[in-house]
Amino acid sequence: MDLQVILVYITLAIALGYLLKKFFWPKKQAAKSCGKNDCGCH
């Protein structure tokens, strides 16, 4: 395989990994949360 094809596959894998992490990874709670009710501090 050519170097260009290998670079394309690496770039594609990084892009897919980023999208999977962004949309399907569970999000952590923000450290500045006010609790269960919204106090309007953010």
Residues 35/28, Cβ–Cβ less than 8 Å = no
Question: What are the start-end ranges of the H helices in the chain?
Answer: 3-24
Domain spans, the chain: 1-24
CB-CB contact of 30 with 38 (8 Å): no
Q: Looking up tokens 């952590």, which residue turns up?
A: 28
Q: What are 11-28's pLDDT values in tens digits?
A: 999 999 999 998 887 766
Give me the percent of the chain exceeding a pLDDT of 70: 62
